[in-house]
Amino acid sequence: MIDHEKIEQAVRLFLEGIGEDVSREGLRDTPERIARMCGELYGGMDDDAAVHLSKTFSVDSSEMVTERDITFYSTCEHHILPFYGKAHIAYIPDGKVVGLSKLARTVEVYARRLQLQEQLTGQIADALMAYMQPKGALVMIEAEHMCMTMRGIRKPGSKTVTMAKRGVFETDPALEESFFRMLHAEGTER
């Protein structure tokens, strides 16, 4: 749970630390504002992917389900700066599917906390496997990290791409190929 008191104290100290005057008008409400914002940015810690992914429907088909371009915003745990981009998810159902909005909700659960992109990618894939029991799952994330672009190490716009494969995606390269075909399907904006 978010401790507003602690965050407000910490923000005041931080502002003093960078040489700011915490009593000036523009900063007066900043500690409280940041504490409230933290509830939203890190709210994933109080959410549970199991709740979203356990609402399944029965299906006969075991055709690949793909949801691409799920926009997300997360926070790098090394610098507490944003990283954000798109998540693409594919899974092979084993008798059940979830509503597509639940995949986006699952991304939010893990994105809305301090994260590393590699870990975020793996956690989403593991949650799909654990709570939906598909035959396999693949998660790919493309993101821009402010800790790399703002600080000038890389050019703005450069993307970090990570992928996690579970189940049949680990053993059948043809599935991964068909995922990439769906990802780059024509007539759709990328």
Q: For the chain, how long is the longest CA-to-CA vector?
A: 64
Residue span binding Zn ion (CB under 5 A) among the ranges 41-49, 96-104, 141-149, 161-169? 141-149
How big is the chain by its Cα radius of gyration, in Å? Answer: 19
Binding of Zn ion at residue 79 (CB under 5 A)? yes
At 129, give phi and psi (nearest 5°): -65, -40
* Rounded Cα distance, 123 and 107, in Å: 9
Binding of Zn ion at residue 154 (CB under 5 A)? no
Q: 33 or 151, CB closer to Zn ion?
A: 151
| CA-based nearest residue to 53, from 43, 41, 65 | 65
Binding of Zn ion at residue 147 (CB under 5 A)? yes
* Rounded Cα distance, 71 and 108, in Å: 9
Our answer to whether residue 38 is catalytic in this structure is no
Using Cβ positions, the residue closest to Zn ion within the complex turns out to be 147
Binding of Zn ion at residue 76 (CB under 5 A)? yes
Give the pair of three-digit tokens for residue 48.
């549970």
Binding of Zn ion at residue 120 (CB under 5 A)? no
Residue span binding Zn ion (CB under 5 A) among the ranges 3-11, 34-42, 60-68, 75-83? 75-83
Residues that bind Zn ion (CB under 5 A): 76, 78-79, 147
User: What amino acid positions are annotated as catalytic residues?
Assistant: 76-79, 117, 145, 147
